[in-house]
Amino acid sequence: MKDVKITACAKALPERIVTNDHLTQIMDTSDEWIRTRTGIRQRHLSTGENTSDLASKVATKLLRQAGLAASELDLLVVATMSPDSQTPSVSNLVQAQIGAVNAVCFDLSAACSGFVYALTAARSLMLTLQKKTALVIGAEVLSKLLDWQDRSTAVLFGDGAGGVLLEASQDAHFLAQTLTSFGESAQAIVAGANPAGKFPQTVLQHSPFTMDGRKVYHFATHQVPQLIAATAEEAGIELAQIDWFLLHQANRRIIEQVAKRLDLPLAKFPMNIQTVGNTAAASEGILLADCLADGLIKPGQTVMMCGYGGGLSVGCCLVKF
Ligand code: ACO
């Protein structure tokens, strides 16, 4: 086997849609503020489904699309920053729910870069361990990490899951992959922090989501264009030759700024942030599923996927469909 190929893609969103207007009933915000600052109009929020439930729905859809039995899966990677528990991993819970008895399972934590990091990790493992089939799923129930009194973060995020099936291929499909990490800026995005206990007064607790929005905005609008350009260069492809740029859906203004810095038309950057909000590790998988379902991405086209966020981190992946 020479490479791996994306052979199926699916998403799952909680049924409950919460509009910006709805949020104005529980916090001091406005549709106008949220729309103009972020592009978000609504988000899907869980009413009882956990991360593994959404991920399992995606896994079931992927297997159905490909006509594959769960027992034929070799690898199952879930990217998430909102797992059901520290252990077992979400991927193990999905394994049990779908009956993927032969799959090697683990979770990967790289926040909003998680999906691209997981794609890279899964592909590498498939090539080194000669695994033939893998599911890579980004899944989040971020609503359980948020402080619903904090308007500066609560309005930004949504719940959901999206993923792909990777299968062994004799042709090259992953043209370049680059990952970068910036631990010195780790405190810019913090969720679910578990402070160290002082035995015997250890109290179980975790803190809600906090973000230095301006710092993350500056980071994304500078690091993302740089890594996209470096990834294209590694593949030996001109930026203008790339058909689509699927960026993590954190903020419409970040995406506009990245397109501008790269001197590329915004029309090459599909967006669904208006309907789903920021779904962290699920974002890229959900967007890819929407683009494929709409017939936007055609066989033979090249797609630059780019995740960025907590860590801080950025990951890019140039894929030929
Ligand atoms: N409704 C109304 N007013 C609000 C809201 C709200 N929901 N939130 C904040 N405000 C107010 C603030 O209180 C402030 O008021 P003040 O001037 O009276 O003090 C004002 O609006 C401006 O607040 P800022 O935080 O400075 O707003 P900014 O223009 O920076 O926009 C935003 C905030 C949208 C978060 C932006 O900084 C951003 O998009 N940053 C990047 C976020 C990102 O990319 N995250 C991705 C990674 S997430 C992850 O990895 C999980």
Catalytic site residues? 112, 248, 278
What is the pLDDT confidence band of residue 197, given thresholds at 50, 70 and 90? confident
Q: Which atom of ligand 1 is nearest to the CA of 248?
A: 46
Strand-pair category, 244-247 with 302-309: parallel
Q: Into how many domains does the chain fold?
A: 2
Q: What was the ipTM of the complex prediction?
A: 0.92
Domain termination site, one of 170, 186, 210: 170
Half-sphere exposure at residue 190, Cβ-oriented, CA atoms within 13 angstroms:
13
d(CA 52, ligand 1 centre) in Å? 30
Of 249, 252, 228, 253, whose CA–CA distance to 240 is shortest? 228
User: What residue owns the CA closest to ligand 1's atom 32?
Assistant: 213
| Mean pLDDT of the 19-41 span | 96
Q: How far apart are CA 283 and CA 272, in angstroms?
A: 9
Shared-domain flag, residues 85 and 211: no
User: Is there an atom of ligand 1 within 6 Å of 106 CB?
Assistant: no
Residue 86 one-letter amino acid: Q
* pLDDT tens digit sequence for 47-63: 999 999 999 999 999 99
pLDDT of residue 194: 83
- Ramachandran bin of 258, using left for φ above 0, alpha for ψ from -120 to 50, beta for the remaining angles: alpha
User: Is there an atom of ligand 1 within 6 Å of 13 CB?
Assistant: no
Query: Best mutation site among 22, 33, 37, 284 for ligand 1, i.e. most ligand atoms within 8 A of its Cβ?
Result: 37
Shared-domain flag, residues 159 and 190: no
What is the pLDDT confidence band of residue 107, given thresholds at 50, 70 and 90? very high
**How does 38-65 read in b/e, with b if 16+ C-beta sit within 10 Å?**
bbbbbbbbbeebbbbbbbbbbbbbbbee
**CATH code for the domain of 203:** 3.40.47.10
* Cβ-contact 137, 33 below 8 angstroms: no
d(CA 214, ligand 1 centre) in Å? 7
Under DSSP, the state recorded for 130 is T
pLDDT of residue 57: 98
Global pTM exceeds 0.90:
yes
* pLDDT tens digit sequence for 169-194: 999 999 999 999 999 999 999 999 88
pLDDT of residue 196: 81
d(CA 238, ligand 1 centre) in Å? 34
d(CA 226, ligand 1 centre) in Å? 24
Under DSSP, the state recorded for 278 is B
* pLDDT tens digit sequence for 132-168: 999 999 999 999 999 999 999 999 999 999 999 999 9
Residues in the chain, overall count: 321
Domain that holds residue 199: 175-320
